[in-house]
Amino acid sequence: MVDGHTQLVGLIGWPVKHSLSPAMHNAAFDALELNWRYVPLPVPPGEVEAAVRGLVALGFRSANVTVPHKRAVISMLDSAAPNARDLGAVNTLVIERREGSSTVIKGYNTDDQGFINALQHEGFDVGGWKSAVVVGAGGAARAIIYSLLRSGKGEIVVLNRTLERAQALISDLGLCPQETSRLRALPLTVETLVESARAAGLLINATTVGMWPHVEHSIWPPDVPIPVHLTVFDLVYNPPQTRLLKQARESRAHGISGLGMLVEQGALSFKIWTGKPAPVEVMRAVCEQALKR
């Protein structure tokens, strides 16, 4: 029931129509009997400042921020968590109301830790990996590379269709020389992918390749087995079983769906907003159900 005491959480992004987050968070609020509601708020590019002012004026308690606003929203914050500052991206907001009518807007990023928690959930040794391959150089790849650098000591090959974007990502992350020396950017080709993956323990698809409706697409070539020792993490979660994950299964390699990361980053946001541990399994089940539909 929505009443005068209901605490509101918004999702600002463009588009947000197909987001799983409203179903996931509303189920979590219900499971913990919290009088909170999560609502999708479509905000066109260029309108994020007005949207955040609107959240404050309407008494929203908190929000998620998604594509394309994760960077732009930073200029609206009174404070940002250190990882959000390093990443230059925020996906979680808290609006604190102080004495009188003043408000403080705090920004967080839960994507990086959400990825690490999802890996851990699958039994992967997040501190022990020696070599990883990240395919992609967009916003998601940024959070993945940052979290891998902080969680382990291994080396990372970043492969991207547009090499300049991978190079820019590395120089833009504000890393110390020691961290930069653990990163190498190469153009994405069948040869660089297969060769880098052979030497690695972890392969991450951080591109949009394989996303619905292009479910038959994969970054991995059709006629080459995936090395059996490899853990393959596909950030794409729609569909949960991508072509790449099917290839991993056929090669008896360990495949992990991006759904786990979606749920884990959501669980971390939930804890920031409510102060309570999130009902992770409820959230996962709701997302699985929604994707089946």
What residues are annotated to the active site? Answer: 70
Give me the sheet containing 7-13, strands edge to edge: 36-42, 7-13, 62-65, 92-97, 103-108, 79-80
Q: At what angle do helices 111-121 and 259-274 cross, to 10 degrees?
A: 120
Distance in angstroms (rounded) separating the CA atoms of residues 99 and 104: 11
Contact between 269 and ligand NAP (CB under 6 A)?
no
For ligand NAP, the nearest residue by Cβ is 138
CA angle at residue 263 from 280 to 141, to 5 degrees? Answer: 150
209 binds ligand NAP (CB under 6 A): yes
- Among the listed ranges 23-31, 75-83, 159-167, 224-232, the one in contact with ligand NAP (CB under 6 A) is 159-167
Smallest distance, ligand NAP to C-beta of residue 110, A? 10
Which of 208, 224, 228, 276 is the binder for ligand NAP (CB under 6 A)? 208
- Tell me how far apart the 2 most distant CA atoms of the chain are, in Å: 66
Query: Is residue 258 at the binding interface for ligand NAP, with CB under 6 A as the rule?
Result: yes
Residue 140 interacts with ligand NAP (CB under 6 A)?
A: yes
Q: Which helix (H) or strand (E) holds 39?
A: strand 36-42
| Cβ-contact 65, 91 below 8 angstroms | yes
Touching ligand NAP, residues 225-244 (CB under 6 A): 235-237
Using CB under 6 A, which residues numbered 115 to 134 contact ligand NAP? none
64 binds ligand NAP (CB under 6 A): no
Going by C-alpha positions, the residue among 218, 211, 268 that lies closest to residue 244 is: 218
Q: Which is nearer to ligand NAP, 211 or 285 (CB)?
A: 211
Q: Does 161 bind ligand NAP (CB under 6 A)?
A: yes
In the block, tokens 């292009």 appear at: 214
Q: Which of residues 181-200 bind ligand NAP (CB under 6 A)?
A: 188
Q: Crossing angle, helix 139-151 and helix 163-172, to 10 degrees?
A: 50
The tokens of 64 are what? 């998620």
Exactly one of 158, 262, 286, 287 binds ligand NAP (CB under 6 A); that residue is 262
- The count of chain residues that interact with ligand NAP, using the rule CB under 6 A, is 25
Which residues are at the interface with ligand NAP (CB under 6 A)?
A: 67, 111, 136-141, 160-162, 165, 188, 206-209, 211, 235-237, 258, 261-262, 265
